[in-house]
Amino acid sequence: MTYRTAATGQYSCPRCLRPLNTYQAGAFEVDACLSCGGLFIDNAASRELVRAFDRDLIRVATTIGIGKGETVGPGVYQKDLACPRCGSPLSPVNLPSASAEVDICAEHGTWFDANELPKVARAYRRNREGAPADMAAEEIAKLLEHRWG
């Protein structure tokens, strides 16, 4: 079951700098931006995303992303992103098999722009099911598993 747990304002969206809302997605908490549709998941949820197709995470990401594009318009878009938890720079990681670039804080978690988490989850599911993956995607998966491990 997915439900809203708080409108914290404690953390800000790395993209549009608006307050993040915390939601429960199964066993995981997700910090979501209702304005731009992005979300931040901690390292445990990130590891689960690589390991299995978590329907609760996908459901929250899809609901938050409804009506949102994958990028935010000019004047609002932040290029250099900071971790919403610690303020350290997020490291962009390109995921060619998902046609996405996620932003990672090795200590706290991963930022997904609107509608990216479902794309990444589907790409990892295809890779687990034996669909051909390009070499770059396999290398990225190893990097993410190392960072998220």
For 47-64, how does the pLDDT look when each residue is reduced to its tens digit (9 = 90+)? 888 888 888 989 999 999
Q: What is the DSSP letter of 77?
A: -
The CA-based diameter of the chain, rounded to the nearest angstrom, is 42
pTM: 0.78
Instruction: Give the span between the Cα atoms of 90 and 14, in whole angstroms.
Output: 9
**pLDDT per position as a tens digit, 104-148:** 999 999 999 999 999 999 888 887 777 555 544 555 555 556 554
**Which of 20-29, 40-49, 63-72, 81-90 has the least mean pLDDT?**
63-72
CA nearest 80: which of 54, 46, 103?
Answer: 103
Q: Are 7 and 19 in contact (CB under 8 A)?
A: yes
**25, 45, 65, 66, 81 from 103: Cα distances, Å:** 20, 14, 17, 21, 8
Average pLDDT over the chain, rounded to an integer: 79
